[in-house]
Structure 1
Amino acid sequence: MKLEHKNRLNYIYIPQYWLLGITTGLVAIYGQLVWWSDDANLISSVLLFFGVIGYLVYQKRHSLQLTSSPLATLLGLLLLGLFLLWTHLPANVSLNPRFLPVLPLFLGGGLILIASGFKGLKQYLPELTILAVLGLPYLVLYYVINLSAITANFSAFLLWYTGFDVSHVGSFLILPEATVNVREGCSGAEGIAHLLGLGVLFLIMFPQSHGKKALLLVFSFLLGFVMNSLRVVLMIMLVAGGDGEAFYYWHEGDGSLIFSLISVTFLAGFCFWLLQEPKSEKPDSPSLS
């Protein structure tokens, strides 16, 4: 009995168990923030992305090199400190849907540096890629690319083609009955970023040739853009027809989720088609580099 008790105590001194415990606690803190954000898309994305990361790390757990350096450990602790500092900011900042998805990069980067140092970063390229696509594409689409004006332009073309008397100035769509401003929330940035993230997950789990990688990412972007533009067109038609209740349903109600579901279904079908295609090239290693 004493020997068995001593063996159990030995687990306390194994660094891997300390690392696992710290990771579990920090992920739980982040999960609580995501839950408080009350963002259904973000909650589902975090569950899916973190689940894939956990699976990938578990698969290679015996081959990981867990050797760090003082400088890497210090930088890792700094990143984790920034993560914890963010969680203590006021709710209007810490739960900001634009920046909340970026937090896992600080969390994951800090843990990786503490566990494996700078030399071990290469072991975690797929996991770091997943953490990056969870939040960075949305920031780029939101702040760098003016999607609102592009969406308004394309929606105006679709409306004109279907017979509507419409013009546009910047992000404004002008009809005889009303003027509609396509704001950032309706630009499609969130939907496009979500589909790009799902596409990257597929490429990591099922490596493809470089050509198929590019094809899938372009398809994900165009699919998200077109589906959002169709949603904008539908809402403008409802505004022109004076149907405020239907407009609310498609703008803020469950109708917006229907378009998201259709987009994910089309993407899943495209991914399935890629898997059925004959592989003329040798697939790359499970990364996007």
Structure 2
Amino acid sequence: MQYGLLALLSALITLHLSLVFRSDNTDLIGSSLLYWSAAILILRQKQLNVSSNLIPIAIGSLILLPVLSKSASISGNDIFLRVFPILSIAALTLIVSGFRGFRQHWQELFILSIFAIPPGLILLFFDPSPITAKVSAFVLWSLGFQVSVQGVLVSLPTGSIEVYSACSGVATMLQLFGVALMYLFLQLTKPHQKLLIPTIALFIAFTINAIRVALMAVLVALGDQSAFEYWHVGNGSLVFSTIAVVLFCLSSQVLLPHEERSL
């Protein structure tokens, strides 16, 4: 039975990732890979407890069937792609372990619930675009560029860019926040580290995104539209996400003494 459940989980992950890659949303692709990886790593640390009964199995099946049905008709960048993982794992938890499974697997469920939050929802309450513009302008000024900033507009002598909400860094911050949660769930940490590690993750994500915006401002000033598109909506944005993850992992290794690490 365990192998059958692993096969079903693998099939659901594969289905979700295939839908995500079809959406051509690079932020969503990066987030999906990171959050699924985090959930799987946490799941591997636990012993599977198979003990369910008819009612939770029925509820889990009623959750899973509409998820699969919706997957057959989805197209483009649908909000359903964000709730797919949490619904799938919740359904499997009920089928395998019943309601008690929520207590055992709350960490995986919590991480995937963070993934379900669309960046646009956070932007309704907090939009860091003006701060991103200022930090990007500071980066350019530090490198010797003649730059000015007004609101969300970063201007160079031969071109300017407007830092829209989607480019403010919220998506990258959510990605790295998930990695930070995974790190906290897998490592024994002290109280101050539980606050410090997510804070550093958010800081790194925001700073790396601001550097990316600065690069795009230079490309606009140079008139290189193809390079701008690559770093804006192409695979270039995934490069910066990868850099942010690597920097966070290195920072976490420095913050956590070697004898306290379990990874």
TM-score by length of 1: 0.72
Give SS of 1:120's match.
helix
1:30 and 2:16 are equivalent in the alignment: yes
Relative contact order, higher structure (CA 8 A, sep 6+): 2
* Aligned-partner SS, 1:61: coil
Q: Structure 1 residues 209 and 188 mapped into 2: Cα distance closer, same or farther (>3 Å)?
A: same
Describe the shift of the 1:208–1:39 C-alpha distance in structure 2 as closer, same or farther (beyond 3 A): same
State the one-letter code of the partner of 2:205: G
CA distance in 2, matches of 1:243, 1:18: 51
Aligned to 1:188: 169
Counterpart in the other structure of 1:223:
204
Q: Distance in 2 between matches of 1:55 and 1:220?
A: 19
Give the aligned length.
260
Deviations 1:51-84 (A, max 9, x none): 554454454335x2623462x4444333223422
Task: Report the equivalent of 1:79.
Answer: 63
**Which amino acid in 2 is paired with 1:168?**
Q
Structure 2, unmatched stretches of 5+, are none
Larger Rg: 1
Residue in structure 1 matched with residue 254 of structure 2 by the alignment: 273
Offset of 1:213 from its aligned partner?
1.6
Cα-to-partner distance string for 1:98-142 (whole Å, 9 max, x where unaligned): 552331011111221233333331111122123223342745444
Counterpart residue identity of residue 30, structure 1: H
Partners of 1:245 and 1:174 in 2: CA distance: 19
Q: In the TM superposition, what is the alpha-carbon distance from 1:207 to its structure 2 partner?
A: 2.7
Q: What SS is found at the alignment partner of 1:119? A: helix
**Residues 30 and 175 in structure 2, CA contact (< 8 A), matched pair in contact too:** no
Q: Secondary structure at the match of 2:94?
A: helix
8 A Cα contact 2:26 2:235, kept in partner: no
Aligned pair in 2 of structure 1 residues 274, 152: CA closer, same or farther (>3 Å)? same
Residues 112-191 of structure 1 mapped to structure 2, 5 A cutoff: 112-136=93-117, 138=119, 140-159=121-140, 164-169=146-151, 171-174=152-155, 177-191=158-172
1:242 shift after superposition: 3.6
2:129–2:167 Cα contact (<8 Å) kept? yes
- Contact in 2 for aligned 1:235/1:251 (Cα 8 Å): yes
* TM-score with structure 2 setting the length: 0.78
Amino acid in structure 2 at the alignment position of 1:33 = L
SS in 2 for 1:91: coil
Query: CA RMSD, aligned part only?
Result: 3.4
Give the secondary-structure state (helix, strand or coil) at the position aligned to 1:89: coil
1:212 aligns with 2:198: no
